[in-house]
Amino acid sequence: MLTRCPACHTRFRIYLEHLYAASGQVRCGQCSHVFDARHQAVILDPPTLSLPNISGGRSRSKPKHNKLNKVLWILGSLLLVISLGIQWLWWERFSLIKQAYIDIIIVTMCQHVTCGMPEFRDLQRIEILERNLDTSKTGVAIFKLSMINTAAQSQAYPILELKLIDAETNVIGTRRFTPQEYYSNKTEISAMMLSNETAQVTLEIVNPENKAVGFQIEFW
């Protein structure tokens, strides 16, 4: 323990066994004053603890605050990306619906959001397998057509435009036929033309003065 001389205030260390042996009486080595060390014990100041102050206490919650801001920022970014993706699908739906498999996403989205989704139409995916014009009958031409939908999904039947051509390559007659007109034998014409489905068309048309020797066909 430490003790202090009451005369000169010198502090020095003393061991407890010496203190008990002398009944607490000690002599100061500085001024030779004799005193009871038990009553002059020096109490050391307690060690200073590095306790955080108020501002330091608040700073401990700052990492949690930063983590929350980071999570909110990530969620906000994801929502923004999703929102932009939906808007892009909305504006590009008319072209994307022509792409295989992508139309499934567009159609599914439009089941929950009013998109005004049009029927899928890609005339370039309708291929002609066979066509023929029979002019053997007087005043009548028999037109036959075989076509197939090569798109990956169903699409509406096209409008068929037929032009009759004479020997001088002049157009002597033009008419457009709707699906209901050229495919009247189909019980449900409102149904779509299935993928890889072949359609057979037979039309009996007027052959002006039996001049038709050729024809042109176009889909609309």
pLDDT tens figures, 51-68: 454 444 444 555 667 788
In which element (H, E) is residue 199 found? Answer: strand 198-206
d(CA 216, CA 220): 13
Q: Which two tokens stand for residue 110?
A: 């439009």
d(CA 56, CA 13): 39
pLDDT computed for residue 25 by the predictor: 85
* 50 confidence band (pLDDT: 50, 70, 90): low
Q: Are 219 and 160 in contact (CB under 8 A)?
A: yes
**For residue 81, pLDDT beyond 80:** yes
d(CA 160, CA 193): 14
